[in-house]
Amino acid sequence: MIVTHPTDYEVHLFHEGSLYESYNVFGAHPETQKGVKGTRFSVWAPHAIEVEVVGNFNNWEGSNHGMTKLNDEGIWSLFIPALLENEIYKYQIKTITGKTSLKSDPYAFYSEVRPHTASVIYNIEGYDWKDQNWFKNKKKKSAYEEPLAFYEVHLGSWKKKDGEKFYTYRELADELIPYVLEHHFTHIEMMPLVEHPYDRSWGYQGTGYYSPTSRYGTPHDLMYFIDQCHLSGIGVILDWVPGHFCKDAHGLYMFDGRPTYEYQDVSVRENEVWGTANFDLGKGEVKSFLISNALFWMKYYHIDGFRVDAVANMLYWNTGGTSQKNEYAVSFLRKLNEMVFDADPSVLMIAEDSTDWPFVTGPTYEGGLGFNYKWNMGWMNDILKYMESEPRNRKYLHDKVTFSLMYTYSENFVLPFSHDEVVHGKKSLLNKMPGDYWQKFAQLRLLYGYLITHPGKKLLFMGGEFGQFDEWKDLEDLDWELQDFEMHRVLHEYFKELMKLYKRTKALWELDHLNEGFEWIDANNKDQSIFSFIRKGKKESDILIIVCNFREVVYENFKVGVPAFSYYNEIFNSDGIQYGGTGKINKMKIKTIEKPFHNQTCHLEMTIPPFGISFLRPVKTRKGNNSNGTEKKVRSHVTSRRTR
C-alpha cells in the first residue's frame, strides 16, 4: 500500500478557495506511482478521526484501506495498487463522537442508480468530441445580438417509454434534439442533472455534484447527447444549484460528523423552506468545490451555460425573522462569474433571481455580480396576473403590462415561463387563461406573441408549446395525446411558426438590451386594453409594429400611429384561421395616411382581432424626396451594444 497526497501548493489553494481544478486532486483517480498502477483516493474531512475506503473490492471492510490525514489540514489520501474502474465505493468515516458513517464521494464522477447510493470509480477521460466547429462559431457571435430561446426540460418526464421507463441520454439525442430543432429553440435548458436520491426533487437537492445522474446513463452517454446537440446547432444550459444541498445520510450533510460543507451557525445553515442545508459560501474549501464544479461541467461536458438556481436565497438569509445580505454569497458569485468567463467568455451565466438586487448582470469590476443574464421574474409575475384576470377587469391592471418597460434595460433579461409556474396547483399556462375553451387558446396565442415581441430572451417549459391542459405531472410524461385534438394541434403549429418568425426577425432581438430597440406607440389605452409598440433592429428599416388586443372585442378601421413608410404588410396574426382563430386578419397591404397620430408622423387603419396580436412590417421605402426628386431610401444606423 502506498500513501500519496496533494502537493502543498494545491492544499494551500484549496483552503484559500482558489483551487479551481479541485476535481483533479480529490475523488478517485486511476494513477501510476513508482511503476505501480492503481487508484488514488483523496477526500476532505477535517473533523474525522479515521477515514477508510470501502467497497465491493474489499467486501466493505476497510481495515486494510485506511487513509492518511495530511498535516492536520483535514485532507485524507490513499493509493490502492489496483485499477478499480467501475467498482463501487464509499468513505467510512469515524466521527469525533465515535460514530461511523458511510458517505458517497463528493467528487465522484459517477454514482449508482438510485435507490443505491454508492459512488462508482469512472474514467471521465476518453470521449471523442466532434463539436469543435460549434465552439469556433459561438466565439464569433455575441449572445446579446442574437436570438436566444430556451426550451426548459425535465429529462425524466418529457417523454417516457411505455409511459413509465426513462429514455437514456443517447435515446434522448434521437428524440429530443429533432423536436427542439422543429420548434426553432436555440438552447435546451436541462433541469439539474447532478446525482440526487429523490426523483421528485427534480435534481435541486443533490448529493453528487460531479456525478451526472445515472438514471439516464453514463457520463459518456451524457457527453454524447451534448455533442449531438452541438452538431445540430443547439446550445445546452444546465440548471445548477450552488446554494444548498440535500440532507440525506450518504451526502454532504455533516460529512464528517460536524458542519463541513454547510455553515456552522444553525440559524443560517438550515434551509427550512426546502428542508436542505445551505452551503457555507464563506469557506475557502467550499468555494474551491463549487467553482471547480462549474468549470468541470464546462471542460468535461462542454456545457454552454448555467441557470444558477435560487440566487435570492443565496443573497439574503433570514436570521431571527429578519432578512440580511449575505456578503459571503456576493463574494462567491462574483468570483464564480469571473472564473467562468475567464475560462470561456461565450458562456451564459443566468441568475434565477427574484430580488431587486441592483446590477446583477453588471461586470464585477463595476460592482455588479457578473452574470450576463437574469430571469425577469417581475415581468413574468405581472403578465400572468394580468392574463389570469377577467378581460373586463384588465383596465384596472393596465400597469402590469407597461411597468416592465420602466426597468427592462436595467439588466440583461430572460423572460421565463418556467416549470415553477405550472406546478403545485398553479395550473398550466393554458388553464390560467380565463373564459371558454376558444378564449383560452386565443389568449395563450396572444401571450406567446407578447413573450416573443417583448424585449429580452425567451424561455418556455416543456409542454407549453402544444397547450398542456393539466399542470406538470413530474412522475408522468407530457400529455402527448393532446395533439390529436384540433385546437392543441393548431396551437402547436402556431407556436412553431411564431418561433420561426422570431429567429429570422432581427428587430426582435438585435437591440434587445438597448432602449433604442423599443418604442411605445400607445401604452395608455387601458379602456380597450390595446397596446401598440415598435421593435427595432440596427437598420432603420428593420422595424416591426406590434399591436396587442387583450379583450375579446373586434375593431375595424382602428387607427395606429406608425413611422413614415408608404405601406405596411401584416406578416403574422394570431387570429388566423389556420391557428384556430376567427380570421380577423389584414390581408391586403395597408397604405399609411400622412396625418400624425400617437406621436408618430403617420398612421394607418387596420382590423384588430379579438384576443389577438398583429405583426406589421413596413415596405422598405421611406416617404420623402431627395433633392433630385427621387424617393429617399432608408438609412442604416449603427448603435453600440451593452455587454457584460
Please report the DSSP string for 202-227 in residue order. Answer: TTSS-SEEEEE-GGG--HHHHHHHHH
Question: For residue 200, what is its C-alpha cell?
Answer: 421528485
Of 1 and 497, more confident: 497
CB 205 within 8 A of CB 195: no
Domain containing 59: what range? 8-120
155 and 114, same structural domain? no
Say how far apart CA 274 and CA 617 lie, in whole Å: 48
Query: Rounded mean pLDDT of 431-439?
Result: 98
Asked if residue 611 belongs to a domain, the reply is: no
> Last residue of some domain: 486, 507, 528?
507
Above pLDDT 70, what percent of the chain?
95
Say how far apart CA 38 and CA 9 lie, in whole Å: 24
Residues in Cβ contact with 276 at an 8 Å cutoff, skipping those fewer than 6 apart: 205, 244, 245, 246, 247
What burial class does residue 34 get, using C-beta atoms within 10 Å of its C-beta: 0-12 exposed, 13-18 middle, 19+ buried? exposed
Residues in Cβ contact with 454 at an 8 Å cutoff, skipping those fewer than 6 apart: 379, 404, 408, 415
Query: For residue 636, what pLDDT is reported?
Result: 32
Asked if residue 545 belongs to a domain, the reply is: no
pLDDT grade for 637, boundaries at 50, 70 and 90: very low
CB 344 within 8 A of CB 302: no
pLDDT grade for 627, boundaries at 50, 70 and 90: very low
356 and 472, same structural domain? yes
Say how far apart CA 370 and CA 363 lie, in whole Å: 5
pLDDT grade for 643, boundaries at 50, 70 and 90: very low
Asked if residue 585 belongs to a domain, the reply is: no
Among 36, 35, 92, 86, smallest CA distance to 66 is for 92
User: Cα-flanking dihedrals φ and ψ of residue 631, to 5°?
Assistant: -75, 135
Query: Rounded mean pLDDT of 66-73?
Result: 88
pLDDT grade for 63, boundaries at 50, 70 and 90: very high
Does pLDDT of 628 surpass 50? Answer: no
305 and 175, same structural domain? yes
What is the pairing mode between strands 68-69 and 75-80? antiparallel
Say how far apart CA 11 and CA 23 lie, in whole Å: 13
CB 90 within 8 A of CB 207: no
443 and 483, same structural domain? yes
CB 232 within 8 A of CB 281: no
Average pLDDT, the chain: 93
Domain count, the chain: 2
Among 288, 10, 145, 177, smallest CA distance to 642 is for 145
> Around Cβ 522, how many Cβ atoms within 10 Å?
18
Question: For residue 4, what is its C-alpha cell?
Answer: 500519496
261 and 208, same structural domain? yes
192 and 99, same structural domain? no
Say how far apart CA 58 and CA 79 lie, in whole Å: 14
Asked if residue 619 belongs to a domain, the reply is: no
Of 396 and 273, more confident: 396
Query: For residue 642, what pLDDT is reported?
Result: 43
Domain harbouring 84, CATH code: 2.60.40.10
The highest-confidence range among 73-87, 98-112, 263-277, 618-632, by mean pLDDT, is 98-112
Tell me the C-alpha to C-alpha distance, in Å, between residue 486 and each of 34, 278, 436, 533, 631.
Answer: 70, 48, 16, 32, 48
User: In the β-sheet with 244-245, what is the strand arrangement from edge to edge?
Assistant: 244-245, 276-278, 270-271
Query: For residue 641, what pLDDT is reported?
Result: 34
pLDDT tens, position by position, 391-404:
999 999 999 999 99
Above pLDDT 90, what percent of the chain?
90
185 and 72, same structural domain? no
Among 311, 253, 247, 252, smallest CA distance to 276 is for 247
Does pLDDT of 389 surpass 50? Answer: yes
> Residues with catalytic annotation?
309, 352
Query: For residue 164, what pLDDT is reported?
Result: 84
Any alpha helices (H) in 76-183, and if so which ranges?
Answer: 132-139, 155-158, 169-182
CB 90 within 8 A of CB 41: no
Q: First CA to last CA across the chain, in angstroms?
A: 51
Domain harbouring 338, CATH code: 3.20.20.80
> Last residue of some domain: 507, 522, 544?
507
Does pLDDT of 640 surpass 80? Answer: no
Say how far apart CA 453 and CA 507 lie, in whole Å: 9
Query: Rounded mean pLDDT of 315-333?
Result: 86
68 and 161, same structural domain? no
Question: For residue 102, what is its C-alpha cell?
Answer: 458511510
Asked if residue 145 belongs to a domain, the reply is: no
User: Cα-flanking dihedrals φ and ψ of residue 105, to 5°?
Assistant: -80, 120
User: Cα-flanking dihedrals φ and ψ of residue 452, to 5°?
Assistant: -70, -30
161 and 101, same structural domain? no
pLDDT grade for 73, boundaries at 50, 70 and 90: confident
Does pLDDT of 251 surpass 60? Answer: yes
What is the pairing mode between strands 235-240 and 305-308? parallel
Say how far apart CA 291 and CA 287 lie, in whole Å: 6
Query: For residue 257, what pLDDT is reported?
Result: 95
Query: Rounded mean pLDDT of 231-238?
Result: 98
Say how far apart CA 598 and CA 564 lie, in whole Å: 13
Q: What is the pTM of this model?
A: 0.94
Of 627 and 437, more confident: 437
User: Cα-flanking dihedrals φ and ψ of residue 109, to 5°?
Assistant: -90, -10
CB 611 within 8 A of CB 598: no
Asked if residue 499 belongs to a domain, the reply is: yes
Query: Rounded mean pLDDT of 341-363?
Result: 96
114 and 155, same structural domain? no
Say how far apart CA 293 and CA 321 lie, in whole Å: 32
Say how far apart CA 102 and CA 41 lie, in whole Å: 15
315 and 422, same structural domain? yes
Query: For residue 163, what pLDDT is reported?
Result: 75
Task: Extract the runs of DSSP E, i.e. beta strands, from 100-203.
Answer: 100-103, 110-111, 119-120, 149-153, 160-161, 165-166, 187-190, 194-195
Query: For residue 621, what pLDDT is reported?
Result: 64
Does pLDDT of 348 surpass 70? Answer: yes
* Helix H or strand E encompassing 43: strand 36-44
> Last residue of some domain: 507, 527, 555?
507
Residues in Cβ contact with 540 at an 8 Å cutoff, skipping those fewer than 6 apart: 622, 634, 635, 636, 637
Asked if residue 596 belongs to a domain, the reply is: no
Asked if residue 133 belongs to a domain, the reply is: no
Query: Rounded mean pLDDT of 376-394?
Result: 98
Q: Concatenate the DSSP letters of all residues of 515-581 into one string.
A: GGGEEEEE---TTTTEEEEEEE-SBTT-EEEEEEE-SS--EEEEEEEE-SBSEEEEEEETT-GGGTS
